[in-house]
Chain A
Amino acid sequence: MHRPVRRLLCHMALALLAAPAWAQQSAVELKAQVLVKVLRFVEWPQGSLVEGQPLQVCLLDDGALARQLQSLDGQAVNTHPLRVRPRAGRGAALGGCHVALMGAATTPESPGLLLVGEEAMQAEKGAMLSLLVEDGRVVFDIDLEAARRVGIGFSARLLRLARYVRKA
């Protein structure tokens, strides 16, 4: 009876995602929605995000996506309300942040902080989740290795939807 389980895991590892196109929506809107959906499958280290506690998204960038994200402030992700903290200034403290939207600059890793970027993994900017547009569709890459270093995990169910997963 465990054979089906193994098979399913296998399938999961093999399949790659090409996210469906969302017509009539701009790439930025779609990116924001995908980010929120992805966050539902992210696991933060024990104690850093307790039940009912707001999920803080810190914006280190003030690009289009950052602006778009601000409009999602207050939306529920699992049991957490989304709290979007706009850019307070370069070098501002990232204390209390769960997610950080990186800008062009490299951001140092910090425990329990999910770094989100908009460039491909190959850019080596240190993003653990990259939101990209490919053939008019929003896709995402995941750097499992980097995420594991800061104690963040991705649900296996999500991984099969990623375009590219960097493994340890």
Chain B
Amino acid sequence: MPQHHDDTRYLAAPRAGRSEALLAAAALLVFALLLGFLQYGQLERRFREDLEVQSRIVADNAAAAVVFDASKEATEILAALRSAPAIEQARLLAAGERELASYRDGRSARHLLHAWAGHVELSVPVMAQRERVGRLLVHASRVGVWEDLLRFVASAAVLMLAALLLAWLATLRLRVNVREAERRTLHLAHHDPLTDLPNRESFRVALEMAAARCREAPAALLFIDLDNFKQINDSHGHQAGDRVLRRVASLLRAQCRPGDLAARLAGDEFAMLLRAPVDAESAREVAARLIEELPQPEGGELPVHVSVGVALLPEHSEQASEAMRWADAAMYEAKRSGKDGYRLFSEDIGAALRARMGLEQEFIGALASRQICLAYQPLFDAEGCLRGVEALARWPHPERGAVSPGEFIPIAESSGLIVELSLLTLEVLAEDLRAWRAAGLEPPMVALNLSSRQCRQPLHRSQLLEALERLQLSPRQVEFELTEGTLFEDLEAPDSMVVQLQQRGYALAIDDFGTGYSSLAYLRKLRCQKLKIDRLFVHGIARSADARLLVEAVIRLSHALGMRVVAEGVERAADWDCLRSLDCDLYQGFGLARPLPPADLQTLMKAQQAGERVTIARPEAG
């Protein structure tokens, strides 16, 4: 597992333990000092009390000896002071300060503590009954107080240390568990739980470190995206999807040399960081090998397809975020040119990306200044009578001229601006409808394209419904076209947009039928009013028996399910004739009419009102 050495990089968590131990030790020290201080006060008080009591007892005993002036007796009485080790000297004074007897303790060896501890002088009176007959002078060393204090401090310290040791032993297991939990948390924070690969954040950190020293050690960034993951998930369930992800992860891991890093960035996005020695050629090799060794589908599962984008550091970029963008762009290029491909980043891709980003900025401006207008592509019946129009967004750029929808619609989709675009479209449509009505014309049914992006967020859904109401775009005037992909996604949502629109009475049409999943189950479940057969099947139908059979079957099926069928891309008279013979309901295509600006549509409507019908010009002398 070449992955493990990476873990250590993120284990820079601060060692909080040491400072906590220091704090505990300091607290204990303060506690011990305080305790020692209190104990000293106690010992000192006890010492003075004992000294006084002892002195008073001896003085009391000596009273008769003083009265009788019995020096020998007095000396014997003083000798009792031997049992009070603190007392070093004592003098018994009779009346007139005459010394009757004295005592000196010869035992105590003088050491340093003695000098330091100091002495106490005490004088107690010798009383015979109530009369003072002399006094006892006592000279005592305070060394006992300090010895007791030291003994106390020492035993307290030993007890505290023992308690600490016990606590340390008792929590040993706990601390091991905590450390293990910390390690696991750290691992989880930096790894994807499903594949156990490092996650996006870990990869970003590693990439930034690689970018910082890419001049000395070039690196390559591979951006890997599963092309059909959603499809696999939808068809085989999430468990199968997870299995695929794990297999791809182990494939990536197997490609890692020591020092390389594979990571899972998001749902079906993976990345690899190849470190020196690496060049364009070896990066290409790794990408090719990845695609080649993709896991084979198991038991009827869909095969996995990936697209790989490659960016080199420092050749393409010296910055982590830019390198990511370039690899992503290269990956999209690879995806565009078909499944299971890889693409090395190039200046062209960079320029295209920059142009795309520039266009996105301009598109934001276009939305804000309402540069968007609508073109209407008519739908005719078999007689060439206008039955409806499909509204298509157009962007007449003030400098570039008309920007192709093929250019700005993907940008709107990927940036999420499609939501704003749709709302603006509704307003433009409402204006056009008003103008036609003002001209005394009854506009035909208008079909609007509904993007899956509009259905995802509850806010966007409610914005759309609210706009329809505000602009008085009723189900009698407006219907919606959705692709099968949009339908699939939307129907999973708890408050499906499709269902809500149907509840409000709007008719729905399935767009581009035949290019997506074409699930018959959905056809039945949805109860759409229209089905639009993609131009792919319509184009050249007159010359293809297969296409004819297919379209015929779809038309029969649709009619049986109560749907009307629209043929898209009707261009030639022969195809039109063929479709009419198959009992198709409506026809749309450049052969009949191109998308028309509002004014041209108005002209068409007038002509239709006057009884004119549309037809396709037949080639001369066919």
Residues of chain A at the chain B interface (Cβ within 8 Å)? 1, 3-5, 7-8, 11-12, 15, 17, 19-20, 34, 37, 40-41, 78-79, 155, 157-158, 160-161
Contact = CB atoms under 8 A, between A and B. Distances in A.
Contacts of A41: 63-64, 67, 128-129
Query: Which 5 A-B pairs give the minimum distances between C-beta atoms?
Result: A157-B64, A8-B80, A4-B83, A78-B129, A158-B64
Given A5-B57, A8-B57, A8-B58, A17 B70 contact: yes
Contacts of B286: none
Nearest to A33: B68
B50 A20 contact: no
Contacts of B73: 15, 17, 160-161
B134 to A, nearest CB: 13
Contacts of A4: 54, 57, 80-81, 83-84
A4 B60 CA distance: 13
A20 B70 contact: yes
Q: Which of B50, B54, B65, B73 has the most CB of A within 10 A?
A: B73
Given A4-B83, A11-B80, A41-B128, A157 B63 contact: yes
Contacts of B81: 4
Contacts of A7: 80, 83
Contacts of A20: 68-72
B130 A11 contact: no
B60 A157 contact: yes
B435 to A, nearest CB: 117
Interface string B46-60: 000010011001101
A37 B67 contact: yes
B80 A161 contact: no
A157 B76 contact: no
A15 B79 CA distance: 12
Contact of B64 (A3, A8, A160): A160
B61 interface: yes
Contact of B83 (A3, A158, A161): A3
Contacts of B83: 3-4, 7
Contacts, number: 71
Contacts of B137: none
A160 B128 CA distance: 15
A160 B64 CA distance: 9
Given A20-B71, A78-B129, 12 more contacts: A7-B83, A8-B57, A8-B80, A40-B67, A41-B67, A78-B131, A155-B63, A157-B60, A158-B64, A161-B68, A161-B70, A161-B73
B232 interface: no
Contact of A11 (B60, B77, B84): B77
Interface of B: 50, 53-54, 57-58, 60-65, 67-73, 76-77, 79-81, 83-84, 128-131
A40 B129 contact: yes
A155 B64 CA distance: 9
B478 to A, nearest CB: 108
Nearest to A15: B76
Contact of A1 (B53, B72, B130): B53
B314 to A, nearest CB: 88
A161 B50 contact: no
Contacts of B80: 4, 7-8, 11
Contacts of B77: 8, 11-12
Contact of B68 (A3, A19, A78, A79): A19
16 contacts: A4-B57, A11-B79, A12-B77, A15-B73, A15-B76, A17-B68, A17-B73, A20-B68, A40-B128, A41-B67, A157-B61, A157-B62, A157-B65, A158-B64, A161-B65, A161-B70
Contact of A161 (B58, B60, B64): B64
A157 B71 CA distance: 14
A78 B63 CA distance: 13
A48 to B, nearest CB: 16
B147 to A, nearest CB: 16
A69 B595 CA distance: 158
Contacts of B128: 40-41, 78
A66 to B, nearest CB: 22
A12 B61 contact: yes
A1 B50 contact: yes
Nearest to B69: A20
Contacts of B71: 20
A160 B67 CA distance: 13
A3 B57 CA distance: 12
A1 B49 CA distance: 10
B101 to A, nearest CB: 13
B445 to A, nearest CB: 115
Contacts of A5: 57
A157 to B, nearest CB: 4
B490 to A, nearest CB: 95
A7 B79 CA distance: 10
A8 B61 contact: yes
A27 to B, nearest CB: 16
B70 A79 contact: no
A157 B73 CA distance: 11
A78 to B, nearest CB: 4
A69 B390 CA distance: 154
Nearest to B53: A1
A167 to B, nearest CB: 18
A160 B72 CA distance: 12
Nearest to B54: A4
B52 to A, nearest CB: 11
B68 A37 contact: yes
Contacts of A40: 67, 128-129, 131
Nearest to B81: A4
A79 B129 CA distance: 9
B130 A78 contact: yes
A11 B70 contact: no
Contacts of B62: 157
A7 B81 CA distance: 9
B62 to A, nearest CB: 8
A37 B70 CA distance: 12
A79 B128 CA distance: 11
Nearest to A16: B73
Contacts of B72: 20
B79 to A, nearest CB: 7
A19 B129 contact: no
Contacts of B58: 8
A8 B128 CA distance: 17
A17 B68 CA distance: 11
